[in-house]
């Protein structure tokens, strides 16, 4: 015999699925011919509406269903997101390398979709577990907020991982750049050499800088844009040194040699700092996980023996 809470949860889930199907059907009905197709249809140069419907059905499922749904969620995300938060999302996208197909609108749409899915899952889970009205409200709000925050957390983690890899790979790229310039190559050719011989965020950023220079952007403007797209202090220091070298006529090879040495020194310092943090990080697992197990193994038999002897008395 099913409980009343379980029946109510199943009913709400079915209502949610029915509303989703209805919304999808309405979105499909709203997808009509474009302005050019309507104009051609008016002068009799296209086939019957049945052919137009067949052409629409031949389009990918993502264009017919997913894109209209995502557009609706994007509007909801913009409504509940302040402008400064949108600018922060765009900044995080720059730090993440601007993944293909990802922009601020898509992140906002996923936030709205995650909030809706999280609220439904929280309500359904609370009903299955048999909570009261207050528990239903708390679970719906908390899980909904968690679903709303998941895309932002993913974007933050992606940007952080990319910045860490950029900071880790930059000294090697600086060494290759310095060797190339000292071997007689021009700075632009040396940057192209680094972009070809390396992989990861450093190669991507140098490739983008070269592309900006090829479309007419000045070298210093491209370097400043490179620094603006990253939050790595070593890269920003390198860009500042190159701008000053260009302004004062300092040889590029000597500047690169100094910058390469500084980046390698900072990488060694970061490694030493991380090594010094290991004892502090291992302290909590040692206290709460390892030592209790040792106490149980060492003192357990003695405690059992003492209890047996006391029962014998």
Alpha helices in the chain (DSSP H): 4-30, 35-42, 49-58, 61, 67-79, 83-95, 104-129, 133-182, 187-197, 201-214, 219-228, 233-248, 252-281, 283-285, 291-312
Per-residue pLDDT of 297-309, as tens digits, reads 888 888 888 888 8
Tokens encoding 255 = 């500047």
Please check the confidence at residue 10 and state whether its pLDDT lies above 80: no
The confidence score (pLDDT) of residue 6 equals: 60
pLDDT in tens, 166-182: 999 999 999 999 999 98
Per-residue confidence band for 53, with pLDDT thresholds at 50, 70 and 90: low
Which pLDDT does position 161 carry in this prediction?
93
- pLDDT tens digits along 214-235: 898 888 899 899 888 888 888 9
Of 79, 230, 251, the C-alpha closest to 182 is 251
155 versus 12: the higher-pLDDT residue is: 155
pLDDT score for 157: 93
pLDDT of residue 24: 53
């Amino acid at each position: 015999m099913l409980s009343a809470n379980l029946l109510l949860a199943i009913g709400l889930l079915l209502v949610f699925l029915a509303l989703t199907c209805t919304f999808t059907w309405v979105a499909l009905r709203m997808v009509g011919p474009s302005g050019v197709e309507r104009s051609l249809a008016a002068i009799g140069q296209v086939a019957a509406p049945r052919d137009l419907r067949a052409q629409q059905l031949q389009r990918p499922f993502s264009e017919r269903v997913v894109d209209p749904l995502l557009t609706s969620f994007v509007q909801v995300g913009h409504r509940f997101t302040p402008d400064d938060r949108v600018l922060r999302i765009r900044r995080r996208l720059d730090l993440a390398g601007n993944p293909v197909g990802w922009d601020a609108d898509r992140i906002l749409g996923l936030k709205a979709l995650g909030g809706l899915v999280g609220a439904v899952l929280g309500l359904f889970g609370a009903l299955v577990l048999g909570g009261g009205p207050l528990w239903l409200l708390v679970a719906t709000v908390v899980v909904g907020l968690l679903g709303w925050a998941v895309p932002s957390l993913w974007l933050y983690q992606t940007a952080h991982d990319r910045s860490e890899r950029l900071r880790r790979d930059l000294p090697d790229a600086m060494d290759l750049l310095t060797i190339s310039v000292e071997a007689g190559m021009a700075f632009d050719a040396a940057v192209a050499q680094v972009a070809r011989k390396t992989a990861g965020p450093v190669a991507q950023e140098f490739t983008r800088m070269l592309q900006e220079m090829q479309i007419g952007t000045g070298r210093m403007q491209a370097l400043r844009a490179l620094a603006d797209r990253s939050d790595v202090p070593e890269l920003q220091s390198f860009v500042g040194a190159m701008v000053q070298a260009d302004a004062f006529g300092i040889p590029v090879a000597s500047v690169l040699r100094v910058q390469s040495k500084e980046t390698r020194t900072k990488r060694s310092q970061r490694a030493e700092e991380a090594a010094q943090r290991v004892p502090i990080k291992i302290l909590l697992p040692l206290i709460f996980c390892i030592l209790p197990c040792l106490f149980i193994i060492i003192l357990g038999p003695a405690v059992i023996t003492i209890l047996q002897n006391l029962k014998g008395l």
